[in-house]
Amino acid sequence: MSMLRTLKDRFRPILAELVGNEALDKVLDLIRPAQDARFGDYQANMAMALGKQLGRPPREVAAEIVARLQVDDLCEEPAVAGPGFINLRLREGALAARLHAAAEHERLAVPSADHARTYVLDYSAPNVAKPMHVGHIRSTVIGDALCRVLRFLGHRVESDNHLGDWGTQFGMILYGHKHFLDAAAYAENPVAELSRLYRHVRGLADADEAVGKAVLAETARLHAGDEENRRLWQEFMPVCLAEIERMYRRLGVRFDHTLGESFYQDRLPGLVDELTRRGLARQSEGALAVFLEGHESPMLVQKQDGAFLYATTDLATIRYRMETFHPDAVLYVVDHRQSLHFEKLFAVARKLGYADVELTHVSFGTVLGDDGRPFRTREGDIVGLESLLDEAVRRAGDVVAANDEAKPGGPELSPEQRQCVAETVGMGALKYADLAQNRTSDYVFSFDKMLAMNGNTGTYMQYAYARIRSIFRKGNVDAASLVGSGAKILLETPEERALGLQILRLGEAIDQVVADYRPNQLTSYLFDLAGCFTSFYEKHSVLKAESDALLQSRLLLCDLTARTIRQGLALLGIDVVEQM
């Protein structure tokens, strides 16, 4: 159990008597890591709120809590400060014991969730008829990170890539294939030619209403089962899916299910009939719509011409997931611009009987260029994902080569090793740069910043890991042999103590990620951990420690730091390198 969870358990019975079980979790959330180490390691700040609620002086409430609190085995004597802050400083023995437990545990003694849940995660979800682009990065890496974190905590997770494989974009490609196909280009690179056709027809449709109507007609024929359009759709799908899967392999992302919009088409008529039969949907200007309290406009589920909408498919998808996976929660990692859609979708889902399931839109902001607008090429096109990955690896290769050339003993990596490291560093930098942002904020994309060897970057974190591993290579020490060797962790200096405490906060950081589905809580933790290690390493020699006991202790701290960085990055979908 993490130290924070342990402390909350010690406070729990005392606070339950004061506020009751209903408000208990909210009060327990006021026990947090101290912002300033001068005041201890943790602070309990509930006395002010309780004092107002109970009509008593906050310091008196704090003193009562402290008098009843049983933490002698963990903490030095708690102190009441200011208007009623309860400051807690951990005993060195308790810290060392927990560090030893972490060293001997494959999971670094990070506890599993108290109650395992079943999650469905819906993320990435590109339209298959066109190449993936920079706009798909955020959903893909945030969703993948949440999937990894939840599984690490012991939850059952079903990841589902809800592909756009049935919409108007296919009408554009069908129209383009019939009127503008370059057969030779299609034979050489079908995905590139289909993408060209899509862009060409979209431009025509925007300028000519007749083309737009023709595109909708091609889409309608596809949906109605037209033999030729279905044949072409079945021809397009495998090559499009193969191209998307190639991008996912490069990113190290996988899904349990890839069920596109087409999978749900035969379920839509029955769903709309049920909505109508139950009085949830009614006619509105020839269309069928569900009217929702608090919303100016209804949610359309069937157009006047009988066609269904994305909302209809999403409702059918919810029903399928409920019947198939029986989830406790369904998370949609989707652009913030879809917020209104999900508000309506979830409201209708609750009317259908899914009120007890957590339905959450994990929204995120936009990737911007230097001009503050969505990130595009100089030509004004959206940046393709593959070109983005290629450029990240190329630039990472330059960083790796420069770092290798600057080593005091000369370069250590072969050209092949440099390329392998560059791929890992480039992918890691790209993912970390996105995950380190507060997901609800827009951010400006910068290759230079994300590949910097200092600051809160993936490159810095990978370098921190590699630097620690170099200590063991230089000392010819087998890190695995330290565990179980009888070596003791000694926390005799402020820097050693601060590093040990930060190592033990991994579980707390992971809990913060899940609390609001924000992976940047984990990147912030890792950056602080690397900072603690730097402060320790700059002041204290490891391989030239003053005694053998101190050498073993510091090596254990180094190994624990490296393992923690590796585990934290793995939860973000980022690999490490042993040399850099």
Judge contact between 218 and 224, C-beta under 8 A: no
**Distance between CA atoms of residues 386 and 33, nearest Å:** 41
**Distance between CA atoms of residues 58 and 453, nearest Å:** 47
Whether residue 282 is predicted with pLDDT greater than 60 in this model: the reply is: yes
C-alpha distances in Å from residue 331, one per residue of 338, 510, 516, 541: 14, 17, 11, 47
Whether residue 163 is predicted with pLDDT greater than 90 in this model: the reply is: yes
pLDDT of residue 123: 97
- With H, G, I as helix, E, B as strand and everything else as coil, classify residue 308: strand
Query: Which tokens in the block code for residue 267?
Result: 């379920």
Query: Residue 123: inside a domain, yes or no?
Result: no
Burial of 352 (0-12, 13-18, 19+ CB in 10 A): middle
Helix axes 506-516, 137-152, angle to 10 degrees: 120
Q: Strand 287-290 and strand 299-302: pairing?
A: antiparallel
Strands (E), 234-298: 282-284, 287-290
Residues 416 and 557 in one domain: yes
Residues 402 and 544 in one domain: yes
Query: Confidence class of residue 305 from pLDDT cuts 50, 70 and 90?
Result: confident
Average pLDDT of every residue of the chain: 93
32-42: b (≥16 Cβ within 10 Å) or e: eebeeeebbbb
pLDDT of residue 141: 97
297-332: b (≥16 Cβ within 10 Å) or e: ebbbbbeeeeebbebbbbbbbbbebbeebebbbbbb
**Distance between CA atoms of residues 211 and 198, nearest Å:** 13
- The residue type of 15 is L
Angle at 570 between CA 242 and CA 431, to 5 degrees: 60
Q: List the CATH number of the domain containing 539.
A: 1.10.730.10
Query: Which tokens in the block code for residue 121?
Result: 């995660």
Provide mean pLDDT across the span 118-143.
Answer: 92
Query: Residue 189: inside a domain, yes or no?
Result: yes
Residues 456 and 553 in one domain: yes
Residues 422 and 552 in one domain: yes
Provide mean pLDDT across the span 227-246.
Answer: 94
Residues 80 and 228 in one domain: no
Single out the residue in 70, 90, 110 at which a domain terminates.
90
pLDDT digits (tens, 9 = 90+) for 237-265: 999 999 999 999 999 999 999 999 999 99
Provide mean pLDDT across the span 274-294.
Answer: 93
pLDDT of residue 242: 93
Whether residue 379 is predicted with pLDDT greater than 60 in this model: the reply is: no
pLDDT of residue 248: 96
Query: Confidence class of residue 67 from pLDDT cuts 50, 70 and 90?
Result: very high
Which residues, 6+ apart, have CB-to-CB distance to 327 below 8 Å? 117, 118, 119, 120, 158, 321, 357
Q: What percent of the chain has pLDDT over 90?
A: 80
If one counts the domains in the chain, the total is 3
Query: Residue 127: inside a domain, yes or no?
Result: no
Higher pLDDT, 560 or 385: 560
Query: Residue 67: inside a domain, yes or no?
Result: yes
Residues 392 and 496 in one domain: yes
Q: What φ, ψ does residue 285 adopt, rounded to 5°?
A: 55, 40
pLDDT of residue 572: 98
Provide mean pLDDT across the span 127-141.
Answer: 88
pTM greater than 0.85: yes
Check the CA dihedral 90-91-94-98 and report its sign: positive
Whether residue 133 is predicted with pLDDT greater than 90 in this model: the reply is: no
Strands (E), 431-536: 443-444
Residues 172 and 41 in one domain: no
pLDDT of residue 222: 92
Burial of 93 (0-12, 13-18, 19+ CB in 10 A): exposed
Q: List the CATH number of the domain containing 74.
A: 3.30.1360.70
- With H, G, I as helix, E, B as strand and everything else as coil, classify residue 163: coil
pLDDT digits (tens, 9 = 90+) for 461-488: 999 999 999 999 999 999 888 887 888 9
Query: Residue 155: inside a domain, yes or no?
Result: no
Query: Confidence class of residue 383 from pLDDT cuts 50, 70 and 90?
Result: confident
**Distance between CA atoms of residues 44 and 86, nearest Å:** 5
Helix axes 3-19, 58-68, angle to 10 degrees: 120
pLDDT of residue 380: 55
Query: Residue 300: inside a domain, yes or no?
Result: no
Contacts 24+ apart (CB under 8 A), 200-209: 200/176, 201/172, 201/173, 201/175, 201/176, 202/172, 205/172
Query: Residue 296: inside a domain, yes or no?
Result: no
pLDDT of residue 483: 81
Residues 401 and 548 in one domain: yes
pLDDT digits (tens, 9 = 90+) for 342-377: 999 999 999 999 999 999 999 999 998 888 888 876
The domain of 235 spans 165-252
Give the DSSP H/E element, type plus range, for residue 342.
helix 339-351
CA dihedral 493, 494, 495, 497 (to 10 degrees): 90
pLDDT digits (tens, 9 = 90+) for 391-421: 999 999 998 899 888 888 888 889 999 999 9
pLDDT digits (tens, 9 = 90+) for 1-40: 789 999 999 999 999 999 888 889 899 999 999 988 889 9
Single out the residue in 90, 113, 134 at which a domain terminates.
90
Residues 557 and 458 in one domain: yes
Angle at 77 between CA 72 and CA 83, to 5 degrees: 130
Residues 507 and 392 in one domain: yes
CA dihedral 521, 527, 533, 534 (to 10 degrees): -160
Residues 514 and 411 in one domain: yes
Single out the residue in 36, 63, 90 at which a domain terminates.
90
What are the helix (H) ranges across 58-167?
A: 58-68, 92-103, 137-152
Query: Which tokens in the block code for residue 521?
Result: 């809580």
Burial of 244 (0-12, 13-18, 19+ CB in 10 A): buried
Residues 80 and 185 in one domain: no
11-21: b (≥16 Cβ within 10 Å) or e: bbeebeebbee
Query: Residue 275: inside a domain, yes or no?
Result: no
Other CB atoms within a 10 A radius of the CB of residue 168 amount to 17
pLDDT of residue 406: 87
Strands (E), 181-318: 282-284, 287-290, 299-302
pLDDT of residue 448: 87
Higher pLDDT, 177 or 38: 177
Judge contact between 309 and 300, C-beta under 8 A: yes
